[in-house]
Amino acid sequence: MPELPEVETMCRGIHSIISQRVVTIEQPPCDCRPCLIEPDIPTMHRRLQHQTVTAIERRGKRVMIRFENRDRLVIEPRMSGLVLLADPPGVDHLRMRIHFASRPNSASNSSTRSSNTELLVWDRRGLGTIRLMNPDEYEQNVNARLGEDALTIAANTLRNRLVDSARAIKVALLDQAVVAGIGNLYAVEILFVAGIDPQTVCKKITRPQWTRLHAAITHVLDEAIANEGSTLSDGTYRNALNQSGGYQNMHRVYDREDEPCIRCERGRIRRVVQAQRSTFFCPECQRRTGKHASVDDSFSASRRDAATWFH
């Protein structure tokens, strides 16, 4: 489940390991389905021991830890993975433990660093991946395969990449090669805010709809990050300090089948299946005609207007 807001929250939560150096990397005993770890732990340990963390980065739905030798540890949580500093949901699904020590003569606050001396990768279902990559491997296997990040992609770039597509817009937004970071949950929330039927074919979307869509992407993702992501009913997603997110309390359509629409109050949220994923939308607010039930084509692309339009 972790999508861009959850992964961004993970990245921010582990920011305190920057300037710390790796002491050991361990793979705790786990009888569950194994995660993909490349290279193996002994090789990873040899490459990273004594290396200092220089940056925490995010690329789409991936947590990336960059080291002084320019290697990146790329962690893709996928359905049930977490990156934590403490208190995993349980020890049975721990996949990796990295012990850190403060860099000698570091100017950073030592009392803060002493409380965050290890990084934990936890994955209940074992679907995530952990890969150590040098710059060339990163460019070939991550950067070249992903589209621009959903928080930085320009409106014209988004439209140009999809305007001729015969795919439904909801399905297209899930294509990480087009735009990186949006998954099923946030795609349906974004399309609701934009007033677009998720079943609309991309090439039939009007220019005003593209404008609304781009503004809605920024607005919804920023809003979700501010609330540290969504912890769903299974309780799997937690932030780096093992606390639940808050955005699940603000969902407008996701998992609200048959409930009244909170915007128009006339429609009831419908559920359909697209590309084997559940899609939720309001048939009154989200139409395929290019017109929204309550908004004309003068909708602005600014974040402020996107927020005002919804509220």
pLDDT of 67 reads 98
User: Helices (H) and strands (E) in the chain — how many of each?
Assistant: 9, 13
For residue 89, how many C-alpha atoms fall within 13 Å in the half-sphere facing its CB?
A: 19
Q: Tell me: pLDDT of 108 over 50.
A: no
Q: State the span(s) of the chain assigned CATH 1.10.8.50.
A: 148-310
pLDDT band at 104 (very low <50, low <70, confident <90, very high): low
For 158-171, b/e burial (b = at least 16 CB within 10 A) is bbebbeebebbbbb
Q: 36-50, 131-145, 239-253: which range is least confident on average?
A: 239-253
Q: Tell me: pLDDT of 195 over 70.
A: yes
Q: Tell me: pLDDT of 287 over 90.
A: no
Q: Is 170 a catalytic residue?
A: no
Q: Is 208 a catalytic residue?
A: no
For residue 63, how many C-alpha atoms fall within 13 Å in the half-sphere facing its CB?
A: 29
Q: Is 68 a catalytic residue?
A: no
Catalytic residue chosen out of the listed positions 3, 76, 223, 228: 3
Paired residues of 274 in beta bridges? 277
Q: Tell me: pLDDT of 111 over 90.
A: no
What is the fold, at CATH topology level, of the domain defined by 4-143? N-terminal domain of MutM-like DNA repair proteins (3.20.190)
Catalytic residue chosen out of the listed positions 21, 58, 59, 61: 61
pLDDT of 302 reads 36
| 154-175 residue pLDDT tens | 999 999 999 999 999 999 999 9
Q: Is 2 a catalytic residue?
A: yes
| Cα–Cα distances in angstroms (integers) from residue 49 to residues 42, 57, 99, 203, 244, in the given order | 10, 20, 10, 51, 32
Between CA 302 and CA 290 the distance in angstroms is: 19
pLDDT band at 144 (very low <50, low <70, confident <90, very high): very high
pTM of the model: 0.87
Average pLDDT over residues 122-138: 95
Catalytic residue chosen out of the listed positions 97, 103, 125, 277: 277
Query: Maximum distance among all alpha carbons in the chain?
Result: 64
Between CA 16 and CA 162 the distance in angstroms is: 39
Q: 78-82, 97-101, 219-223: which range is least confident on average?
A: 78-82
Q: State the span(s) of the chain assigned CATH 3.20.190.10.
A: 4-143
Q: Does domain 148-310 have CATH number 1.10.10.60?
A: no
